[in-house]
Each structure stands twice: as C-alpha cells, then as structure tokens.
Structure 1
C-alpha cells in the first residue's frame, strides 16, 4: 500500500447540540498525523465548543453534506454539489457522525467512488436506516444491541466511544463550589428534550422531601420542554432545591461538586446509544444512577444495582435515598470502581487505535 496519508473527512451536524462533539474532537486530536490527513465538515459554526474545535488546526468546512430526500426525482441533481465537494478535496474516507438516518451523503460518496462509513449513535431503525446501512461501506456500533439492526452486514464492528480519562479526572479539577446548605448534591447533564425524562428526576426529588438534597440541571432549557420542566419544578415547590443552570462548556467542576450523577432517560424514541455524560461522570469518580434502557445498561452492565426502571420516580427516589445513606468513604469506593471501569473499557487510546486500524483496512480493501 502507498505511504500516502489517508485523507479522512469527519461529517457532523454541528458542535453545539451534537452530543458526540467532544468525542470527535478527541479522535481528531489523537489520530496519527503522520498517517492520516484529517478534515471536518459541519452544518454550522454555532456554539462555544466550535472555538475549541478550531484549536485543532485542521481544515473545517461549513458545508452541509446532506440534503432532503424529497422530491426523489430531483435528488440525483441535488447531491451533485456534495459529491463534487468530496472529489474536489480528494478525500479517501468519509466518516459520518450525523445523528440522523440520512443516506444522501452516502449516495454522494458512491457517486464519486469514495468510501463512506458511519457511527450509529442512537437507537432506532426504519427504512431510511436500512438504506443508509446498505450504502455504508462499514458501520461502527457503540453498544451491544445495535448490531441486531443489521444482522447480515458483515462490515461492522463494536467500538464503544472513548473518553480522555486524564481530562475527566477528579484530580484535574481544583476549583469548584458546592451549593450552599447542601448535604447531598445531585447533577444531571442533558440537552433538554422530552426523552431525557427530567420530569422523573424532579418527581423523585419531591418524593425524597429533603431540603438538604439539591439538584443541578446542566443543559439548554430555553425550549418548550425546558420551560415545562421549570414550571414542574415550581409546581412541586422545589425552587430552593433545583437549579437549571443552562449549558456549560466544561462540566467537570459541576461534577466535582456533586455526590451523585443521574441519567433518567425514558424507554422511548431515540433513547441512548452510549451516553457520554454518564461516562464522563464515571470517569470523574462520581457515583451514578441510570434508567435501565439500552445504552445506559450497556455502560453499567457490571453495575446493575445502579439501574432503575425507566420512568419510575419512586424507584429512582429509593435508589437515591440508599446512596444518600452511605458514608463518604463508601461513596468514594463506588466512585473509584466506576472510574477504574472507564479506564479498563472506554479509554480514548483504545478508541483511537481501533479507528486507525479500521481506516487502514478500508484502504487496503480488507473489510469490504
């Protein structure tokens, strides 16, 4: 095989609401630049994290690599600019991190003979996912159940998302503030949409009926669901216990100040592929609780006692109470076990090596 660098284009909708933005950043940063020439294409430059992406000093194109399917009769003409973009920059591999079931960027890649793969980030499958999967030269799954969506696709592999455990470390944060008059501080991090189940966590807080338990909700709540959750907090008279803090570029100080991380996602809709905020909390040595659904139960498969029935606020309140009654030493032991698990299963080093090997094999046609 030629010693020429493999030119890889990462495509992503944006670095504002896309939850995998930090993963893509770490992957681009870690890939061997002697072997790979990396570029990024995204639909927008919005969000404070985009400035962090720019610090990678790789070519970033504000270019939409997908178009609406309909009307189908004009689709071949509408994908031509995407195909021309791929060809103009002579990319060898296009790796899609788009969250949707769009397959038009794959079609454009086939039009100019470029290899195209995608990382399946969320649960869910329909006819458009079938088309996308058929067109993909390779599929990366991030939990054990995803492979069941395409049992006849040999060109696939499970590569769990990786995390920089030195960055997400309790020792990497020295400045943090715990909310005043707090005996037990809970945190959750999410883009506030209905499937995230924040109402379940609020209802669990009300069931606890303990004014010394505080909850911090990190994530954009300036939308209909976010406003509804603020209103629910007020109806439950939890104004002194629950704070909606909006988005934070760096969640580590908030996690460092917390005693518990909770992810209450519902068992419906897109669900979770592999929730990185949960893995980040674990890597920070923070005890966690999660709803027993695909994605979350994959990350916590060796910690089943930390799972609760999705949508069940009573079960969640009971789990919180049980952890709250542990002394600080016992909570520290649990946090250390969770961090050690991340270091054993979800390291960025393993994640990057798996991608380097895959890209190399794709160019040698070994996986096709």
Structure 2
C-alpha cells in the first residue's frame, strides 16, 4: 500500500526582502520527495529570487497567511479564512518563516488541528504578541544559542542552525569579476541597507585608514533612505573611487570571490542578527571575515573570537582591518580554508535538512 506523504506548507512574507528566502528554497528543494509534499505561501511575487523559487516546480500560493488584529470584531472571521485555506489543502504541518510577532497564522492552524512550527529568525522578543505566538506554536526552532533563553518553559523547541549549500558557495564555482584590481585590498559587505547594519561605521573606518589601496564593495538595495545617505556620506568624504555601491544582486558569489575580506558591521541595537547568512556565505566561499561582537555574529564565529570587534568601535575596526592587510596571501588563504571547513562541519545543508525531516516526523508520529 502506498504511504501517504506528509504535506508541508512553508510560509514567508516574500522572496524579495526576506533574508531567509534562500534557506527556505534549499530546504524545500532538499526534503525527501518520497516522504514529503512541499508547498509555499507568500504575500507577493516581488523580487528576482521569486523566479528562482518557481523553478522548483512546487505549488506557490500568493496568499497572506496572517492578518491584522484590528478591527477586533472581524478578527476571528478573517482568521477563519486562513484556517479554511489550510484545511482545503489538507496540510499536515505549517512551517512559518515569517519574521514578525504576528500570531494569527498560528491560531488559524490551531483552529483546524494543523501542526504549526516557526523558526525564530530575529532577536526581538519584547512584546506580548511574541509570547502569544510562542505559546500557540507546537514547536519553535531557534537559530542561535541566546534565543533559547526566550522560551524557558517551552520544552518543544530545538536549536537548528541555518544550513548552507557549500557546493554552491565555493570559490571555484564562479569566475572572479575581471574589473576588480587584484593589487588592491578589496573589502566587501552584503546587507539590507538599514541603519542597524552599521554601514556608516565601515565607511568611516575606511576613511580613517587613509589608504587608497583599500576598496569597499557594498551589496544591497541602496534605493532606500539609508542607502542614499551612505552614498552621500561616501561622496562627502571624497571616497567615490574607493567605495562602490552595486545594489541588490541575485548572485553574490562573483563579488565575494574577488574579495580579500568580508566585514559585517551590524550595531548592537534594534533587531540585531539572528544568524546572518551573508556572513556564512562568505565563510563558505573561503573569504576571511570580520564581524561586530553581537548576538548572531558571535554565534557563527564562536570559535573565531579573534575575528570579532566591539560593535560600533571605529578605531578597533581600523586596527582589525590593518591586521588583515598585514597578512600575506598564504595566511589569508589558510584562514579562508579553515572558515570553509567550519561551515562544512557546523552549517552543512545535509544536517539542516535531516534535522527538519526528523522534526516533522516526530510532530506527527503520535497522531
């Protein structure tokens, strides 16, 4: 007799601004198709990466699986519409990759007896809605060690670090960009250009270096207030020749492969970092890295304390960059190889997928 497959629905706000979009793509692609049937629900078709997700050939529903709380008098009616969507498609597990504290998605699943899981992606947890969401969840997945402390009374939780496809993110997978000057010391950062990312700290550190042989490539949507402010800052400091803004890139690998150093300068404020995949991507590409000593970044680099600096400290960042400049090429290559091996050991895609498969099975085994 043919066994019934487990039907999984991944929910995500979109594949444009959602930083975990590639992770969801890899997980959906990697789950055993003999055991699981995967579908995706998101709020829009925006972004170039949505077209990549479509190539998986999985059903994608442009459907909002959460709703606003107000007006309260119609809240249950609107939640029930989501419940009916779950029921209509006969999902066994809803796995939410939504970043917000919204709990309507979870309640909709509870109302029709569907298991609801969420991955805690960001560090915010300071309002009652997060507590409601976490109470309603059948299981919570955390992605760094500090997050586990948010749920002291929740037994149904586990730390599952995000996984990376190290066969995709490797130096020899793509050619280096020909326009990059190999005689320069090339720094790169990849970020959603918002103030908490601390790009101004990195720009000011480069200015303080006073070294024309250092360049900086900034990848991320610069058509934002903060992005435009950073372009203006670079111009004001007379660094247009040293700093280039490349906008949002679907494939960051050619830019990473040409870099001598990757820097993630996030500030210790606001949402901070859950587990910054742009940092892990650089490590997997064998690029030396440097990051601010904050939650998420220091989890990824917990065995490389020397690659951390105090968040927002421009002078310390300058000294750290000078230290990398002083290394010879062989030293940097050796560090890059060590970082790539670390990714293979600690953030392997196989382990990430297996952990999720085992979780989905355990949620349903007693039914």
Q: Which TM-score band applies after superposition, normalised by the shorter structure?
A: over 0.9
Output the TM-score relative to the length of structure 1: 0.97
Q: Given the alignment of the two structures, is residue 306 of structure 1 paired with residue 315 of structure 2, yes or no?
A: no
SS at 2:193's partner residue? coil
Q: Given the alignment of the two structures, is residue 236 of structure 1 paired with residue 225 of structure 2, yes or no?
A: no
How many corresponding residue pairs? Answer: 365
* Per-residue CA distance 1:118-150 (angstroms, 9 max, x = gap): 000010102111010000000000000001011
Q: In the TM superposition, what is the alpha-carbon distance from 1:181 to its structure 2 partner?
A: 7.3
Q: Given the alignment of the two structures, is residue 56 of structure 1 paired with residue 61 of structure 2, yes or no?
A: no
Output the TM-score relative to the length of structure 2: 0.98
Query: 1:35 and 1:19 mapped to 2: Cα distance?
Result: 27
Q: Where do 1:1-368 residues align within 5 Å?
A: 3-125=3-125, 126-180=127-181, 182-365=183-366
Query: 1:102 and 1:338 mapped to 2: Cα distance?
Result: 36
Aligned CA RMSD, in angstroms, stands at 1.1
Query: 1:362 and 1:63 mapped to 2: Cα distance?
Result: 25
Query: 1:365 and 1:12 mapped to 2: Cα distance?
Result: 28
* Alpha-carbon contact 2:176-2:255 (below 8 Å) kept: no
Query: 1:260 and 1:118 mapped to 2: Cα distance?
Result: 34
Q: Which runs of 4+ in 1 moved over 3 A?
A: none
* Alpha-carbon contact 1:206-1:238 (below 8 Å) kept: yes
Q: In the TM superposition, what is the alpha-carbon distance from 1:175 to its structure 2 partner?
A: 4.1
* Alpha-carbon contact 1:188-1:218 (below 8 Å) kept: yes
SS at 1:310's partner residue? coil
Q: In the TM superposition, what is the alpha-carbon distance from 1:74 to its structure 2 partner?
A: 2.0
Q: In the TM superposition, what is the alpha-carbon distance from 1:177 to its structure 2 partner?
A: 2.7
Q: In the TM superposition, what is the alpha-carbon distance from 1:180 to its structure 2 partner?
A: 3.5
Q: In the TM superposition, what is the alpha-carbon distance from 1:264 to its structure 2 partner?
A: 0.4
* Alpha-carbon contact 1:285-1:336 (below 8 Å) kept: yes
* Alpha-carbon contact 1:182-1:214 (below 8 Å) kept: no
Q: In the TM superposition, what is the alpha-carbon distance from 1:188 to its structure 2 partner?
A: 0.3
* Per-residue CA distance 1:23-69 (angstroms, 9 max, x = gap): 11110111000000000000010111011000000000000111111
